Structure 1
Amino acid sequence: MKIDIIGLLISFSYALDCVESELIHVTTGHAKRVAYMSICIAQEMEISGNAIQDLAACALMHDNALTQYIAEEYHNEPFIASAKQPPRRIGLHCIYGERNMRKYPFHTDMTNVILYHHEKADGTGPFEKKWNEVHLFARIIHMCDVLDGFFQADNYAEHVWENAKDFVKQHENTWFDSECVAALQRVAKEKYVGLLESGEFTNQLWEMLPRQKEEYSFEVLKDLTDIFAGITDYKSHFTSQHSIGVAKSAYRLSLFMGMDMDTAQKMYIAGALHDIGKITIKNDILEKPDKLTEKEYDSMKDHAWYTYKMLHQVAGFEEITRWAALHHERLDGSGYPFGYTAKDLGVQERMMACVDIFQALTEERPYKKGMAKEQAFAIMRDMAAKNWIDGEITEKLIDCYCTTV
């Protein structure tokens, strides 16, 4: 599959920012700012080419294990002891994050960059690694991560920039190594701070980091999308495993209906990402056990639009974006987010709608037991009779789950 993988990571980083903003109250755009600042520093060190692409990928994804981190550190769940795990809990999201990115198609050796992105130069970080034991890119990301917190994303005035540089200098050889500190001191304020202040840094980031489509295997893309399906599902424990369940069902139904393997694999990815827009919805709505108010329901419906917004910018994801984002459209035009009718909806969009409904009805959630398949089939046939979902595809789905294991 030929896609713009950096564009995909940017979509994912936006999702991570939404979780981070709601659950630990930091400003959005954090990952992109860290990526931009990291590239500025790296360029001062005369780093270029594939290495810059890989640095950007790690910077965008340095907090990719945020949900596991929150589970272990913020929700006070039992700490899993291991000789390989550090005694400080902050290391957990580094461990999970490194593991998640292990199969990412880096061009260069990025081993332990995410694992050690919280290490301090003097060895007082969570893994007690000194600066000369840590990959340069981990050290760059660490410094830029701290700096973004220092600026708090809304104050890039000159005195704040100077105070930030002073802060870094004061912590040279303790928090930050001298190589990174020297590079920061050389960066012009206009380059590092001016564009951040104006909000124009994203455009500059694209110039520094050209985006292009490359060929990737389904296995690589599946690994990445599974990570973010898990993040989406964790956002609300009521939907635990829903996204992966939809992905597997979409893949299964595609093959049952005689579609080629390429289409089935794209349907898997679309299913895994179909609810990524729920990242933007507040948890008090996602987890409300009672009927939503009209205002709350309108807010919930926004998730399909945000799924579209996040995915449509990924070159090579055009079909996947439609199949993922249109799963709540109805043939009679009463669905959302676009109010499309039957003439606007292709076979895959209709399939995804049926699969999503079937999965939601039959899966067990904390506030309800999953329905028996027969009961779900009856409800779906009724929806087809109302011209909400495709009747032929509904019957195909029923056949699929009645005749296959």
Structure 2
Amino acid sequence: MNTIQPSSVKIKVDVRHALIAVATVLDFVGVDDLHHGHRVAYIAYECACVLGWPDDKKQFAYFAGLIHDCGVSSSEEHLRLLKLMQPEDAQCHSQRGYEALLKCPILDVFAAIVLYHHTPWLELLSHDLSTFERDVAALIFLADRTDFLRARYTHGCHEELITLHESMVAENLMAHSGTLFEPEMVKAMCQLVKKDGFWYNMDASHIALLGLEFEANNFYDKELDLEGVKQLARFLARIVDAKSPFTFHHSDKVALLAKLLAKDCGLSEEDAELLYVAGLLHDVGKLKTPDLLLHKEGKLTKEEYSIVKRHTVDTEHTLHSFFPKSVIGEWASNHHERLDGSGYPFSKRQEQLDLPSRILAVVDVFQALTQKRPYRGSLALSDIFEIMQPMVDKGQLDADVYRVLLADIDNFYRLSTQEFQA
């Protein structure tokens, strides 16, 4: 094939950096209330310090706080959590987050905390949890609702004005002591919320740095192997695909097809695996795209399309934070580029697009056309050919990659349309 070959770079990421990056990704969902996960992590950690918890328990509370809302899949759902002290449907996202974490062995230690992070203290006492898990779940609930009160009292005004409402925040927390919240934790939290500096320190960059400066810990400082990276990527892909019912499991399918096609195109086993990760995460930037645009059934307007196109750059920025010295982010962000320069976001041409980028572009188009939509089923192969062949003829998609796809098209079509097995 007359295409640029990749120069692979080993993935190096530890659990600590990965969790902080996950929190940044989750912030995309709450576009109207950024950095909620960071603030809950900070609030929980500071309260754990007042309570005199040991270092490992304080760190665990911090990282649990970062990812506690991993089951929230839409901005609308996120905003519903800001309406009441005890949201009516909070258990739905708690359950989704719990199930997602159970499927990710490197993060499953946080599953029980996420499941119970909206459970009232009196009810929590009846669940079969270790003292450690019950304490952390209770603290995350208290920290989460403390941030809810911050949002309530600063709505429509500068966030620093929360310092004018410190007594009201404390009174609200005390009103639920012994019922929603564990009493000793409430006392500790009330000490914190009455200090201006506690609120002024709620800066996302400061909170992230806090997590990087903790004492060394074998769990958080463990470097992930390729299998761990794939687990993390699948975890994030499920969050992405849950955001839009139109493209549920799209990321999983793109990853699988890209890996198989990469091998058929002669890429090494290592590069095929890296491309699999890029396929899982190629749409992670869509978490920042407004829900209404992703759910729209008809054609997008020029203005809407302009907003949607940004997801490719958001994907590259996000993946750079996960894998700072890897080609994964570049491959993933190139999936809408076209060899003739007609793609986006940078109108790259063929000399700027290596073989993995070309493979991912072909697979993304193919899988999207096979995807079931509410207004149509999977397109037949004949219809797919009518759409993709002109793109190849115009020099938009790589002809050699497309030829390899066609050589085993029945298998690729079967894999792309079959029901996904979790």
After TM superposition, the score normalised by the length of structure 1 is 0.81
Alignment match, 1:284: 292
CA contact (8 A) 1:19 1:280 kept: yes
1:49-85 CA-to-partner distances (Å, cap 9, x unmatched) read 55444333321221212249989xx9xxxxxxxxxxx
Find out whether 1:105 has 2:106 as its counterpart: yes
Count of residue correspondences: 381
How many angstroms apart in 2 are the aligned matches of 1:256 and 1:335? 25
How many angstroms apart in 2 are the aligned matches of 1:361 and 1:256? 21
Q: Map 1:148-159 onto structure 2 (within 5 A).
A: 148-152=147-151, 154-159=159-164
Single out whichever of 208-217 and 264-273 deviates more from structure 2: 208-217
How many angstroms apart in 1 are the aligned matches of 2:89 and 2:127? 13
Single out whichever of 34-43 and 284-293 deviates more from structure 2: 284-293
How many angstroms apart in 1 are the aligned matches of 2:345 and 2:198? 38
> What is the aligned counterpart of 1:163 among 165, 168, 177?
168
How many angstroms apart in 1 are the aligned matches of 2:150 and 2:110? 28
How many angstroms apart in 1 are the aligned matches of 2:266 and 2:393? 25
Find out whether 1:175 has 2:193 as its counterpart: no
How many angstroms apart in 2 are the aligned matches of 1:19 and 1:315? 21
RMSD, aligned α-carbons = 3.3
Gap regions ≥5 residues in structure 2: 1-10, 81-87, 215-219, 415-422
Q: 1:105 to 1:402 in 2, by over 3 A?
A: closer
Residue 409 of structure 2 aligns to a residue in which SS?
Answer: helix
> What is the aligned counterpart of 1:29 among 29, 35, 51?
35
Alignment match, 2:397: 389
Pairwise CA distance, 1:235: 2.3
Alignment match, 1:226: 234
How many angstroms apart in 1 are the aligned matches of 2:321 and 2:237? 18
1:295-331 CA-to-partner distances (Å, cap 9, x unmatched) read 1211121121221232222245632111111101112
How many angstroms apart in 1 are the aligned matches of 2:373 and 2:126? 38
How many angstroms apart in 2 are the aligned matches of 1:286 and 1:164? 37
> What is the aligned counterpart of 1:348 among 338, 356, 381?
356
> What is the aligned counterpart of 1:362 among 352, 356, 370?
370
Single out whichever of 298-307 and 315-324 deviates more from structure 2: 315-324
Q: 1:375 to 1:346 in 2, by over 3 A?
A: same
Pairwise CA distance, 1:252: 1.4
How many angstroms apart in 2 are the aligned matches of 1:128 and 1:365? 41
1:190-218 CA-to-partner distances (Å, cap 9, x unmatched) read 4421122xxx3422431343498743244
Alignment match, 2:210: 207
Q: 1:355 to 1:52 in 2, by over 3 A?
A: farther
Residue 3 of structure 1 aligns to a residue in which SS?
Answer: coil
> What is the aligned counterpart of 1:184 among 162, 173, 189?
189
1:74-106 CA-to-partner distances (Å, cap 9, x unmatched) read 9xxxxxxxxxxxxx8543332332232233425
How many angstroms apart in 2 are the aligned matches of 1:114 and 1:287? 27
Pairwise CA distance, 1:155: 4.9
Pairwise CA distance, 1:151: 0.6
CA contact (8 A) 1:253 1:397 kept: yes
Residue 137 of structure 1 aligns to a residue in which SS?
Answer: helix
CA contact (8 A) 2:337 2:345 kept: yes
Pairwise CA distance, 1:241: 2.1
Alignment match, 1:140: 139
Pairwise CA distance, 1:143: 0.8
Which letter does structure 2 place at the counterpart of 1:101?
L
Q: Map 1:180-329 onto structure 2 (within 5 A).
A: 180-187=185-192, 189-196=195-202, 200-210=203-213, 214-316=222-324, 318-329=326-337
How many angstroms apart in 2 are the aligned matches of 1:364 and 1:110? 33
Alignment match, 1:116: 116
Pairwise CA distance, 1:357: 0.8
How many angstroms apart in 1 are the aligned matches of 2:56 and 2:107? 8
Pairwise CA distance, 1:237: 1.9
Q: 1:50 to 1:344 in 2, by over 3 A?
A: farther
Q: 1:185 to 1:287 in 2, by over 3 A?
A: closer
Single out whichever of 270-279 and 395-404 deviates more from structure 2: 395-404
> What is the aligned counterpart of 1:57 among 52, 60, 63?
63
Which letter does structure 2 place at the counterpart of 1:147?
T
Gap regions ≥5 residues in structure 1: 75-87
Which letter does structure 2 place at the counterpart of 1:145?
D
Q: 1:292 to 1:195 in 2, by over 3 A?
A: same
Residue 101 of structure 1 aligns to a residue in which SS?
Answer: helix
Q: 1:230 to 1:207 in 2, by over 3 A?
A: closer
Which letter does structure 1 place at the counterpart of 2:336?
H
Which letter does structure 2 place at the counterpart of 1:206?
L
Q: 1:110 to 1:16 in 2, by over 3 A?
A: closer
Pairwise CA distance, 1:4: 4.0
Q: 1:361 to 1:99 in 2, by over 3 A?
A: closer
Q: 1:402 to 1:16 in 2, by over 3 A?
A: same
Pairwise CA distance, 1:20: 4.3
How many angstroms apart in 2 are the aligned matches of 1:228 and 1:330? 26
How many angstroms apart in 2 are the aligned matches of 1:105 and 1:30? 23
Which letter does structure 1 place at the counterpart of 2:12?
K
Find out whether 1:401 has 2:401 as its counterpart: no
Q: 1:259 to 1:54 in 2, by over 3 A?
A: farther
